[in-house]
Amino acid sequence: MSETNLNPEEPKKSLNFIEVAVENDLKEGKNDSRVQTRFPPEPNGYLHIGHAKAICIDFGIAQKYGGVCNLRFDDTNPVKEEVEYVDSIMEDIQWLGYDWANVYYASDYFPQLWDFAVQLIKEGKAYIDEQSAEEIAKQKGTPTEPGTNSPYRNRPIEESLDLFNKMNEGVFEEGSMVLRAKIDMAAANMHFRDPIIYRIIKRPHHRTGSTWQAYPMYDFAHGQCDYFEGVTHSLCTLEFVPHRPLYDWFIDQLATSDYRPHQYEFNKLQFTYTLLSKRNLRAMVEEGILDGWDDPRMPTISGFRRRGYTPESIHILMDKIGYTKYDGVNDIGLFEYSIREDLNKKATRVSAVLNPVKLVITNYPEGKTEIMPAQNNPEDENAGSHEILFSRELYIERDDFMEDAPKKYFRLTPGNEVRLKNAYIVKCTGCKKDEAGNVIEVYAEYDEMTKSGMPDSGRKVKGTIHWVSEEGCFDAEVRLYDRLFMVENPADDERDFRELLNPDSLKVLKGCKMESYLNDAKEGDKFQFQRTGYFCVDKDSTPENMVFNRTVSLKDSWAKAKDR
């Protein structure tokens, strides 16, 4: 790989700590040697690249150890959830190459969760608290000071049962009471200080309608759903470490055999120059800052897909970054490296001139055209070739010509020779300018003997530039994307994220010149525009106006030389 200056270590082939745990459990014959995982998204937004990390380990572990992975929608909060999100989540998982054994919804378990809550009340392990959220929070204590018992903590069981039923019947207002587990207000782990397990929400649910008005909290639903389904390895991110004892506590109250799901926590994916939080991403969509959840600048899976990223590039990335127990920030450059690595092997090389100026080959016969073969991919000898047209009038990139060039400029400048990729060596003879001094045409003479197959075809010159023939080419729109955020760690920045946005994250170029081969390209098709970058056809394309997204640039040796 010569296209990148990043040089990440080779992916480690050793097992990650989750695989080690699974292999130990299998060795010990735990849970009848079953391996069952789940991916548990909350359907309150589109999946982002962080979720892809979770998907790859949840489905990957099941795949590797002959187990089962289910998709479970964590739809315990009716306020934020929508069917659109459910559909997009399914599409994204399948695009990553995975399939679930079953689709479940946490809401499917509302009856069992209700029964379990009733069981806890009857056992004296839960009570209805009529205090406000603020009062309850005030009594929580701090990590070093114990909390204070609620005045409702020892109310009669019958009273709690009656109120719990009424909570669900809609008798009471939202926020007027909650069901709390009665554990220990002095526990060192704050999550044990009588956690709230049910609250009132008077909003129809996308699946259960208005059947329920009392809804379980995440901590009361997640572990139990794992248990009801038979999950063995419940994988989540590190912020759930302090929740794990409570997860285990609820399951201990529920379990009737030795079977136990076990929670394991790994580090979240966080990228430089990127915000991964559905709340912020939703704001960007709703405020019209971006063009929907699949805007190619979005760090969503659908955004990266539209941008031209492949599922393979995501797997390459996940292999490189691995799964650990320590949070950290990954360089977004690593993802760019991964997509280059994949597309380098796959993408057909074509010519596209993004910022065109005309090049006239003055000694080439007027009206003559030639067909030249262009290799599709030098990295893949089976990729074949396609035909390109050569003619007297061509387009080249504006910055491939300079009238007064510095010494190390190996492109077109009067008196200098370059090779036109797949065609002849030409020598620059000058240019024509408009009244304002802008170059409007560049002139050169070609050397007939330097075409492939001709005697001087092997003659070396220092520069090779790309071009398209005026005849047969067509105009298209090209969208160049840059980082959405100007700061390296927007997640840690105290300013509002709107102040951190890069105003130049999208540049639209019109009138770019495309070789005719691209005429047949379809939405999602991926190409290497030679010397420029990897591009794909955007969904906004029409037959009259094709639109190409820049997935990622190639490293430009001239830009690097200039920087030195």
Contact stretch for ligand ATP (CB under 6 A) within 36-44, 394-402, 444-452, 555-563: 36-44
278 binds ligand ATP (CB under 6 A): yes
Which helix H or strand E contains 36, and what residues bound it?
strand 36-39
List, in order, residues 6 or more apart from 235 with CB less than 8 Å away.
18, 37, 54, 57, 58, 61, 263, 264, 265, 266
- Cβ distance to ligand ATP smaller for residue 68 or 343: 68
Task: Using the minimum distance from each CB to ligand ATP, give the nearer residue, 42 or 331.
Answer: 42
Is the separation of the CB atoms in 552 and 533 below 8 Å?
yes
Residue 258, Cβ density class (10 Å: 0-12 exposed, 13-18 middle, ≥19 buried): exposed
Q: Is 42 in the site for ligand ATP (CB under 6 A)?
A: yes
> Helix, strand or coil for residue 477?
strand
Question: What's the CA gap between 436 and 422, in Å, rounded?
Answer: 34
Least gap, CB of 73 to Mg ion (angstroms): 12
Q: If contact means CB under 5 to 8 A according to the sort of partner, which of ligand ATP, Mg ion, none does residue 53 touch?
A: ligand ATP
Which residue of 53, 244, 340, 419 would you call a contact of ligand ATP, by CB under 6 A? 53
* Residue number with the smallest Cβ distance to ligand ATP: 50
Choices 45-53, 167-175, 207-215, 340-348 (CB under 6 A): range interacting with ligand ATP: 45-53
Separation between Cα atoms, residue 61 and residue 50, nearest integer Å: 17
Instruction: Write the CB contacts of 435 (distance below 8 Å, at least 6 apart in sequence).
Output: none
Of 268-276, 364-372, 380-388, 515-523, the segment contacting ligand ATP by CB under 6 A is 268-276
Which of these ranges, 46-54, 156-164, 253-261, 486-494, lies near ligand ATP under the rule CB under 6 A?
A: 46-54
One-character DSSP codes across 158-197? HHHHHHHHHHHHT-S-TTS-EEEE-S-TT-SSGGGSS-EE
Which CB, 1 or 83, lies closer to ligand ATP? 83
**Does residue 50 bind ligand ATP (CB under 6 A)?**
yes
Smallest distance from Mg ion to CB 55, Å = 15
Residue placing its CB nearer to Mg ion in the complex, 77 or 150:
77
Contact 233, 261 (CB under 8 A): yes
**Nearest approach, Cβ of residue 492 and ligand ATP (Å):** 14
CB closer to ligand ATP, 135 vs 239? 239
Binding segment (CB under 6 A) for ligand ATP, from list 1-9, 50-58, 175-183, 302-310: 50-58
Residues forming contacts to Mg ion in the complex (CB under 5 A) are 42
Decide if residue 303 touches ligand ATP (CB under 6 A): no
Q: Is residue 225 within the footprint of ligand ATP (CB under 6 A)?
A: no
Write the DSSP string, 498-534: GGGB-TTSEEEEEEEEE-GGGGG--TT-EEEETTTEE
Residues 6+ apart with CB under 8 A from 458: none
Nearer to ligand ATP, 55 or 178 (CB): 55
149 SS3 class: coil
* DSSP string of 81-143, one letter each residue: --HHHHHHHHHHHHHTT---S-EEEGGGGHHHHHHHHHHHHHTTSEEEE-S-HHHHHHTT--S
Q: Does 282 bind ligand ATP (CB under 6 A)?
A: no
Q: Does 167 bind ligand ATP (CB under 6 A)?
A: no
Considering only CA atoms, give the Rg of the chain: 31
Task: Select 278 or 307, whichever has its Cβ closest to ligand ATP.
Answer: 278
From 37, 41, 216, 428, residue interacting with ligand ATP (rule: CB under 6 A) = 41
Residue choice 56, 217, 269, 350 for contact with ligand ATP (CB under 6 A): 269
User: Where does this chain touch ligand ATP (CB under 6 A) — which range of 108-116, 270-278, 311-319, 336-344?
Assistant: 270-278
For position 489 contacting ligand ATP by CB under 6 A, the verdict is no
* 394 DSSP β-pair partners: 359, 469
Counted residue by residue, the chain has a size of: 564
Report, in Å, the least distance between residue 289 CB and ligand ATP: 17
Q: How many CA atoms lie within 13 A of 432 on its CB side?
A: 9
Using a 10 angstrom Cβ sphere, with 0-12 exposed, 13-18 middle and 19 or more buried, the burial of residue 47 is: buried
Q: Count interface residues toward ligand ATP (CB under 6 A).
A: 14
Separation between Cα atoms, residue 243 and residue 253, nearest integer Å = 16
Of 36, 37, 51, 295, the residue at the interface with ligand ATP (CB under 6 A) is 51
Q: Which is nearer to Mg ion, 42 or 493 (CB)?
A: 42
Give the one residue of 217, 236, 374, 412 binding ligand ATP; rule: CB under 6 A: 236
Tokens read off for 127: 């009570």
Q: Does 206 bind ligand ATP (CB under 6 A)?
A: no
Regarding 268 and contact with ligand ATP (CB under 6 A), the answer is yes
Cβ pair 150, 184 in contact under 8 A: no
Q: Which residue lies nearer to ligand ATP by CB, 88 or 532?
A: 88
**Residue 237 touches ligand ATP, criterion: CB under 6 A:** yes
For 246, which DSSP code? H
Nearer to Mg ion, 42 or 482 (CB): 42
Minimal distance, residue 255 CB to ligand ATP, in Å:
22
- Least distance from C-beta 539 to ligand ATP, angstroms? 25
Contacts to ligand ATP by CB under 6 A: 40-42, 50-51, 53-54, 236-237, 268-269, 276-278
